[in-house]
Amino acid sequence: MISTDRRGFLAAAGAGILALTGCTVSDPRIVGGPTAPPPQPSPSPLPTIPGQQVAIGLESELAASCARLQQNAGGLQLPAPQAAAAGWLAAAHQAHLTALLGVRPSDRPTTLPTPDARWSPRPVPTPTVTLPTDRAAALRVVTELEGRGTDPYRESALASSGTTALLWGSLAAYTRAAAVLLGSTSTRPEPPAAEIRPPASASDVEAPQQLLRQTDALVYGYQVAIGWLRGAEAQNALTVLGRRRALRDQVTALLRDRGQQAPAAEPAYQLTAQPTDPATARELLWRMEIAFAPFAGGWLAAATQTPDRRLAQEALEDTVQLAVGWGGPLPVWPGWPL
């Protein structure tokens, strides 16, 4: 048996402690193993909303077709107002396409999303439509292409809610009114600059109440303008006045059936301009219709029930088409704040 006295044991222990303290944290090293960083996961497709990829393809076709129509205006002998309209439509459809390619289309982004390792870009089909060399045939091709989007966009609006419903509803209203724009040879103002702002916050009760107030103002404005119109224009205005009164009655009944207050009409309204001839009467009407559209869009975004959403969508499409029909511009995003 080997004996170690207490002093010797402590000395041995002390040597061990000294040996351990001679090691530092940086001394251990891992040898071998991978020399490159671990592979990154493959990017995932951006999340989509129903109907989005189909809409991307259609807006791509529309942007290209309208641009070709404008570029070929000389060869097609397009009147200047139609050539200008083709350019406005091309720019608007490009704006729609950019928004649809965004991460959140209902924010209506004006630039394509920055490349990100997490997401892969949305695919954009190559446009395939070719335009005939005959003016009437070329206009017909583009007009039919515009009309192809109205029904599916409307269906998407009715199946959605909030600003997504307004996104689709706006596209439906645009494509429907585009046919009126392309068919006109009258000079008209350029579309207003698109303000990328969300709709005013309103509940599903406040929004129809606001729309009802504006409908009463529209009824008053039509009554004033009709006195300055003649022939077919006067008859058309009378027909629209009847539709506006019908809308007023529908919204009033809807509110009262739900126990909500239906605001009463004012005795008179301050008009943006007092008509003095047919031209100023038409201008009053298109200005009122354009101003009315954001109230229809606001209700579409606020609606929580399908019947409300349907009535708001009908009002939005109707007012945008009427504004263009009376000689007004077609905003890039009808129904959103101007």
pLDDT of residue 42: 59
Radius of gyration of the chain (CA): 32
Angle CA(70)–CA(75)–CA(81) in degrees, nearest 5?
A: 45
pLDDT for res 41: 55
Q: What's the pLDDT at 220?
A: 98
Q: What gap in Å lies between CA 75 and CA 311, rounded to an integer?
A: 43
pLDDT at res. 23: 43
Position 70 scores a pLDDT of 98
Indicate the Cα dihedral angle 205, 208, 212, 217, nearest 10°: 120
CB count in 10 Å sphere of residue 198? 15
pLDDT of the chain, 338 residues: tens digit per residue: 444 444 443 334 344 433 334 444 444 454 444 555 555 555 666 778 889 999 999 999 999 999 999 999 999 999 999 999 999 999 999 999 999 999 899 999 999 988 776 677 888 999 998 999 999 999 999 999 999 999 999 999 999 999 999 999 999 999 999 999 999 999 999 999 988 999 999 999 999 999 999 999 999 999 999 999 999 999 999 999 999 999 999 999 999 999 999 999 999 999 988 999 999 999 999 999 999 999 999 999 999 999 999 999 999 999 999 999 999 999 999 999 98
What tokens appear for 33 in the block?
């193993």
Distance CA 186, CA 4 (A): 115
CA distances from 80 to 84, 111, 184, 243, 286 (A): 6, 30, 11, 33, 21
Q: Using CA atoms, how far apart are residues 326 and 201, in angstroms rounded to an integer? A: 30
Domains parsed from the chain with CATH numbers: 49-112+121-187 (1.20.1260), 197-338 (1.20.1260.10)
Helices (H) and strands (E) in the chain, counts: 10, 2
Residue 235 CB neighbours (<10 A) = 12
